[in-house]
Amino acid sequence: MMKRSNAELVAKLSVVSGKGEFMSRVGKRPVTVAKGIEVSVDGTVIVVKKDKLEKRLETHGRVEVSIEGNEVAFTRVGDDKESSAYWGTYRSLLNNIIIGLDKGFTKSLEINGVGYRASVSGKVLNLQLGFSHDVLFDIPEGLDIKVDKNIITINGTDKQSVGQAAAEIRAFRPPEPYKGKGVKYTDEVIVRKAGKAAGK
């Protein structure tokens, strides 16, 4: 089975869910390039550079790209809903690349539970989550993970990678609804359930 790119999946979902019109409104807005970042076009690929870091966004010719000063503008190549969805999708993807290289993306997790803790050793996050064994999470390339008491902070230039790492770490011990033990996003609200004793 052929693996689809993120842009293809987002565009298809936008068309199916009826968000194509919203994505077209997004596509109309040019992307402002932050200071210190260079953007160029190599065929159908948008190349974004900052210092020694380089990101490449393959558009497959689904949109036209023009650069004027510190702004990058996208133009749709067709009048159908799918073209409209791609228009907004590639604009959003490029914007995320620029934000990532300029400021970076961050996700924070909170560990709750007696004896639950985390530590970083080299490129491995060690989690003690109430199991008979430690959980070892290999830190992906391009990500930085730090632990301060019971807070795990994930930083990186790629929004999807940061979000994926946070989701995988949370999945090791999702917060349970009674005492809230487990790993949750710091801004996540857990709806608590009353225990059996409370109902007596």
Select the more confidently predicted residue: 92 or 192: 92
Taken in order of first residue, the domains within the chain and their CATH numbers are: 6-102 (3.90.930.12), 105-184 (3.90.930.12)
At 29-73, the pLDDT tens digits run 899 999 999 999 999 999 999 999 999 999 999 999 999 999 999
At 133-174, the pLDDT tens digits run 999 999 999 999 999 999 999 999 999 999 999 999 999 999
Q: Is 9 a residue whose pLDDT tops 60?
A: no
pLDDT, residue 21, reads: 52
pLDDT, residue 13, reads: 42
Mean pLDDT of 177-195: 85
pLDDT, residue 59, reads: 94
Q: Report residue 176 as tokens.
A: 């349970």
